[in-house]
Amino acid sequence: MTMENVAKRLHTQPQEVLARLRFIGNVAQELGYPVYVVGGFVRDLLLGVEDYDLDIVVEGDGIHFAKELSSRLHVGFVKHKQFGTATLITHDKVKVDVATARQETYEYPASLPKVKPGSIKDDLARRDFTINALALDISRNNFGALVDFFHGRKDLNKKAIRALYDISFIDDPTRILRAIRFEQRFGFTIERHTFTLLKDALKKHMLEAVHKHRLRDEFILILKESQAFKCIKRINGLCGFAFIEKKLRLKKKALNTLKKIEGTYTWFRDNYPHKHKVEVWLLYLMVLLEHLDSMRLKKVFKEFAFRRSEMDAASIFKEESSAMLSRLKAPIAPSVIYKILQPLPYEVLLCVFIKAHDKKVKDKIRDFLFTYKSIQIHLNGEELKALGMAPGPQFKRILLQLLYAKLDGKFKTKEEELIYLRHNILAKSCAKNGGKV
């Protein structure tokens, strides 16, 4: 085993990360636990990539250690008894998971593993790829010593993704997706033998054997990558998306749409003046599934237990985007644009924007997002009451009518708004209802 000390690199980490590692190392030493930080953090440290997720492994009782840490750090912790792991509820960006070093055995392919305590070597040996099977000793006496039983350091230098053992993809087929995710994220190459193993597992349809909820989580991780499009293209070329729905493979047109998502999403995120979270992964998923028929689309969302709102967004996009695009082609007033676009979730809006090829349609969606959505009227329910109107459901209708009129440039100031209310809304509805508003 190679023994290199990377303490110097650790000193390039933000102060709070280094302090947290030292603290954990000191407590472990005091309690007599050999302690390591493992997996993604070590890989990213050596690659010079920012990563504040600390996966801590102790040779000993991980849950007891986590409890001890949580009380000394004055934070809560959640234990997952089945795997002997725990998560500290830290209140800063440094996340801490603690685990007992363990051995794993899989009872049958794609099952959840049976675990029992083991050494750090056992713990690293059960992992997916050599680059993820590196550990750093963080105990006080040996702080920063790299623990590398499987030549992970060499593979990092070679930019190679190498499975640790031959049935790794059979034991856990989600690793097929992980291999592609790391390959595209870091621009690495899946090493030749590993690639053969991966293709064998695909031929055996191992992905289809995984529980759908696990597949969903792994697939969402792919769609959240900044290289999501490259991952999708890679999967499409290798095996298609039969693990989501039989025979699902993307054609050029869908790929062209998917390619534009990242750019549109970043443009929106960096420029949209209001606070609103957009789930970029959902944009990818909606386009990916757009050409399934409606029943199958819903079936997929249910089987994978996505949220109802996510299924609804995908259905609206599938069913309504073409009609919306053709309505937006016509010369229409801002209030009409508003009525068409306002009910849509942002994810659908952005996908419709991507699908629009007509510059005028794109302009309308842009105007909606960056202008119309910021327009507000002066009056509100309280003021309508102060004007002597009886509160009720008609308030909402009146305020909307005012908003539509303002969007269409019928008035600007509050005085003009009041005049418009009297002459164009109240007078008309009064006449219609025989004197009542």
Structure tokens at 279: 């789930």
Q: Which is nearer to ligand CTP, 229 or 372 (CB)?
A: 229
* Cβ-based burial of 69 (10 A; exposed 0-12, middle 13-18, buried ≥19): buried
Among 55, 183, 310, 347, binds ligand CTP (CB under 6 A): 55
Backbone angles phi, psi at 412, to 5 degrees: -125, -55
Q: Which is nearer to ligand CTP, 112 or 386 (CB)?
A: 112
Structure tokens at 191: 């090493």
Site string for ligand CTP, 110-149 (x = CB under 6 A): -----------------xx---xx----------------
Q: Which is nearer to ligand CTP, 69 or 110 (CB)?
A: 110
- Residue 129 to residues 132, 152, 181, 219, 404, Cα–Cα distance (Å): 5, 8, 12, 18, 58
Does residue 40 belong to the site contacting ligand CTP (CB under 6 A)? yes
Q: Which is nearer to ligand CTP, 98 or 352 (CB)?
A: 98
| Integer Cα distance of 197 and 304 in angstroms | 27
| Integer Cα distance of 170 and 147 in angstroms | 26
| Integer Cα distance of 76 and 96 in angstroms | 11
- Residue 401 to residues 10, 349, 377, 406, Cα–Cα distance (Å): 61, 23, 10, 9
Q: Report residue 108 CA to chain centroid gap.
A: 30
Q: What's the closest the beta carbon of residue 223 comes to ligand CTP, in angstroms? A: 13
Q: Which is nearer to ligand CTP, 55 or 137 (CB)?
A: 55
Q: Which is nearer to ligand CTP, 53 or 383 (CB)?
A: 53
Does residue 174 belong to the site contacting ligand CTP (CB under 6 A)? yes
Does residue 310 belong to the site contacting ligand CTP (CB under 6 A)? no
Q: Which is nearer to ligand CTP, 153 or 355 (CB)?
A: 153
Q: What's the closest the beta carbon of residue 421 comes to ligand CTP, in angstroms? A: 55
For residue 85, what is the enclosing H or E element? strand 85-89
37 contacts 138 by C-beta, under 8 angstroms: yes
Does residue 104 belong to the site contacting ligand CTP (CB under 6 A)? no
Side chain identity at residue 107, one-letter code:
E
Q: What's the closest the beta carbon of residue 287 comes to ligand CTP, in angstroms? A: 23
Q: What's the closest the beta carbon of residue 384 comes to ligand CTP, in angstroms? A: 52
Q: What's the closest the beta carbon of residue 404 comes to ligand CTP, in angstroms? A: 46
Using CB under 6 A as the criterion, which residues of the chain lie in contact with ligand CTP when the complex forms? 39-40, 53, 55, 127-128, 132-133, 172, 174-175, 178
